[in-house]
A and B are shown apart, each in its own frame.
Chain A
């Protein structure tokens, strides 16, 4: 059974960089796409971007200038960096696997981690 687990600081100061890691267990990084999705408190879901096992990335244009997703296949991990954070980046951040061979749905999710931007 594939499991995903987010890790990283729960508090980040404004203008600093948010960094999170997702560890994948019970399965391989290849040949999937791996995504980050966030949810501000009490609000809906926003797709941040994905990375393919080959390293190809695709980001939401709304965040593209501030976001980097990277991959460490040796550790079965992928990571998210968001630079120059503001209070608007306060959210629960989820990592998720994108299914292949079907319709690119998010079939496995991490439990989520709350990141608060505070001053």
Chain B
């Protein structure tokens, strides 16, 4: 199985901050990396697919980059509704696997 490791596991930030979350794959996965946002009691929501493609309807303050083993999710200016848990996920090979999540909290 491909292991996905996110860092940090948790992060405190303020509204307006620029935030970066990192995801590392245990083997090369090309651009088969997706990012999801999950709020308490809700299903995950697709933000970014194929490493850097913004899903329709997602605000442009979200961006993704990277390839092969190292990827980042950046939120350029945090908004109150962005405080949530973020997961990366590889779709390069089955079993599809997720990172452990990064909990983004209000400072």
Interface of A with B (CB < 8 Å)?
Answer: 35, 44-47, 58, 60-62, 94, 99, 102-107, 109-112
Contact = CB atoms under 8 A, between A and B. Distances in A.
Main secondary structure of the interface of A (DSSP, over half): loop
Interface residues of B, number: 26
Contact of A45 (B55, B89, B94): B89
B44 A107 contact: no
Contacts of A62: 95
Interface of B: 1, 31-34, 36, 42-46, 49-50, 53, 55, 87, 89, 91, 94-101
A35 B89 CA distance: 14
Nearest to A112: B43
Contact of A105 (B50, B95, B101): B50
A28 to B, nearest CB: 19
A45 B98 contact: yes
A58 B94 CA distance: 8
A44 B94 contact: no
Contacts of A111: 42-43
B43 A109 contact: yes
B27 to A, nearest CB: 16
B89 to A, nearest CB: 7
Contact of A109 (B44, B49, B94, B98): B44
Contacts of B95: 47, 60-62
